[in-house]
Chain A
Amino acid sequence: MAILDQGPLNYKEQLPPIIHENYGKWRYHENPKPGVLKHVSESGAELYSVRVGSPRLVSLDFIREICNLADEYCGGYLRFTARHNVEFLVSDAAKVEPLIAALGERGLPVGGTGASISNIVHTQGWVHCHTPATDASGVVKAVMDDLYEYFVSSKLPAQLKISLACCLNMCGAAHCSDIAIVGVHRTPPRIDHEKIRKGTEIPSLVASCPTGAIRPNPKEKSVVVNDAKCMYCGNCYTMSPGMEIIDPDNDGVAILVGGKVANARTNPMFSRMVIPFLPNNPPRWPEVTDAVRNIVETYAANAHKGEKMGEWIERIGWERFFTLTGIEFNAKLIDDFIFSRETFRTSAAFKY
């Protein structure tokens, strides 16, 4: 019988000696080259962190391989970052370059620090979820292959975070990223009365709809959907298997930009939609990689040094963002949900 409620492993047993010795006494850090951080403590101790890109979805062999490397170069310690990269914690400066060489031999990219595009926070997609409108791992692989140069360098105006969510639940960070790729549906759910009768709590199903498009249908002991009010969020399908919404011909992705979470200079910002729909085109999603690259390159060419995507756009104005990127603006980008009014321009100040 399992031991209950013992909680996670104690982090103290997972820290390398150099961190135990200098815990809370770090003085400053430097970024000597892309993917390498050097932290110096009050005592003068130096810790090198080598950051490595990971596909997040990994096999046992991957974990065992990074364990072997950590044993050889880091005394058996490593960590993962909030963006799913691996960090090797090296206390012996002489081992940094040999570790980087060993990583290179295994095809593991060193980068993701400073003004780079780090790993893409992403979700389950067609690998393991029941509500996705697109895949996660495949789109991420296609985008990171295309933008690889930005992972292994720090040549952007500022750090640029990309996230992907495979449906509007937006698991992860899509609502607060510099660039977000979000799976979207474009057709209403198809009601299966039999399934709803058998396995659905109807009041919860009715309450799950953000626009009030679902009403009880007592005659059928089921529900009815007002298609004109449905914007295909899929939350009703989350609540009931009788509300199938996946539609291979019409599902795809939307692109949002300009979100941030740090408080530096400007307040945290939500990502805003700039492309309402691009098709699912596996395995390489060329429309998506092209759109993301266009936004990255336009930002890189125009933003001030140190300026995040959202700060750049707010400074130049969204109308100018659409001009510079050549992205077509259309009515689908004008908010018509409950908090929309504050996004309208209540001012005569704008650019032509």
Chain B
Amino acid sequence: MAEKRTPQLDELEKGQWPSFVTEIKKAAVKNEASKELLHLLERSYEEKRGHWKHGGIVGVKGYGGGVIGRYSDLPEDYPNLAAFHTVRVNSPSGWFYNTKSLRTICDIWEKRGSGLMNFHGATGDAILLGTTTDQLQPIFDELSEEGFDLGGSGSDLRSPSCCVGPGRCEHACYDTLEACYNITNQYQDELHRPMWPYKFKFKFSGCANDCTASIARSDCAVIGTWRDSIIIDQEAVKAYVAEGLNIQAVVCDRCPTNALKFNAETQELSVIAEECTRCMHCINRMPKAITPGKERGATILLGGKSTIVQSAFMGWVIVPFMKMEAEDDFQEFKDLVERIWEWWDENGKTRERIGETIYRLGMTNFLTSVGLPAVPQMVYRPRANPYVFWPEDEIKK
């Protein structure tokens, strides 16, 4: 196509932050579709609107998800964008890569796609951005030959993701990388072949700092924690005092439950373990002196989702503490999620996230159906209204 100017996008090559326009221009040198994308985007900037047609259903043989179809609404003007599909590639746990793996993806994508990518999509997949329908199967064939698989899309299990965990964090309370890998492999069918009312996401965070934002961005958040007491190294506490840290003000006074006591005379820090809610603040402030306890596992929270339809939900506690052990293949966790999926698949309405299904049918119904005991850790506070449902078998006949 004729050379066109892109004055608005050129403006976004200025400034110190790395420019996506520069990236599209690099791809445009080698690929006609990327070149047209640059011009289509310039047009969007002029007209203040997107130019992608609604929807698009494409995929690869054997799978019901993994590819997002996309068509330009101006195919006559931008023939190379008539089809511009996205391929989601399931990334390795914790987004660790050796350069050989990354170069392999690049080589396949250079040959068969636009050369543009997102590292990564918000759910965690490596996103290959823009190819034609006829290239989808060859791309998948070549990726799979090299050991890659597609991620999720549609009403399926989406690609799970996890924090850096024991790979590089002293706070990790379970092996997030292994849990993510193991559970992703266990549920390949649920991930590749949509069969549910709507999407379902897992995120694995090693501690309550929640570096994957699992509580807000996954239907099932697995957040590492411990059941005994934090461990305090008194020598290291003294070293922090010597460095000038005001432990009373910065650590103790910010403890949400006043569980930490600092004796300024002896320079000793102590904790009332049963008062601690394991929020991580003191550990974050004094990582050399305080570590999570020894009896480690995870809290399971359910229901996190974004706005549509009934407002955004944060995940809420359904299991206060569960062991997450690779040695027993995460069996307790898998048993639970399978009961949960069965209930949701049976009861969820079309396009109803599990949080909304539980909200509609009630926690009592949900807990009874999946066999979980009601415990006070599930609520901030008990109900204030007296509108209680009583099962018939608890009433005198």
Residues of A whose CB lies within 8 Å of any CB of B are 1-11, 13-15, 19, 23-24, 26-29, 39, 47, 49, 53-64, 67, 70-71, 76-82, 84, 86, 89, 107-109, 121, 123, 125-132, 135, 137-138, 140-142, 144-145, 148, 151, 168-176, 204, 207-210, 233, 235, 237-238, 240-241, 246, 248-249, 251, 259, 261-266, 268, 270, 280, 282-284, 305-306, 337-339
Contact = CB atoms under 8 A, between A and B. Distances in A.
B312 A306 contact: no
Nearest to A195: B54
6 contacts: A11-B96, A63-B117, A81-B95, A126-B44, A145-B15, A174-B306
A351 B281 CA distance: 29
Contact of B181 (A10, A27, A210): A10
Contacts of B314: 176, 268, 270
B44 A173 contact: no
Listed residue (A11, A70, A82, A233) with the most chain B CB atoms within 10 angstroms of its CB = A82
Listed residue (B47, B54, B285) with the most chain A CB atoms within 10 angstroms of its CB = B54
Given A57-B116, A284-B11, A63 B49 contact: no
Contact of A338 (B50, B63, B100, B311): B311
Contacts of A173: 122, 213, 216-217
Interface stretch (B20-28, B333-341, B361-369): B20-28
Given A84-B120, A121-B122, A168-B308, A23 B95 contact: no
Given A144-B17, A263-B208, A264-B284, A15 B96 contact: yes
Nearest to B277: A263
B210 A261 contact: yes
Contact of A4 (B21, B53, B62): B62
B141 to A, nearest CB: 5
A238 B27 CA distance: 30
A71 B101 CA distance: 13
Given A7-B149, A60-B109, A129 B129 contact: no
Nearest to B305: A175
Sorting the interface of chain B by its residue count into under 10, 10 to 19, 20 to 34 or 35 or more gives 35 or more
A28 B170 contact: yes
Contacts of B210: 261-263, 268
B52 A55 contact: no
B94 A11 contact: yes
A268 B216 contact: yes
Given A57-B118, A64-B106, A130 B53 contact: yes
A9 B147 contact: yes
Given A8-B90, A207-B351, A57 B99 contact: no
Given A8-B93, A208-B351, A60 B115 contact: yes
A294 to B, nearest CB: 19
Contact of A130 (B18, B70, B129): B70
B381 to A, nearest CB: 12
Contacts of A306: 250, 254, 285
Interface string B28-55: 0010001001000100110111111111
B63 A4 contact: yes
Contact of B254 (A121, A210, A265): A265
Contacts of A208: 309, 351
B307 A175 contact: yes
Contacts of B285: 306
Contacts of B12: 138, 141-142, 283-284
Given A26-B169, A261-B215, A282 B48 contact: yes
Nearest to A174: B306
B102 interface: yes
Contact of B98 (A13, A60, A265): A13
Contacts of B44: 126, 135
B119 A4 contact: no
B9 interface: yes
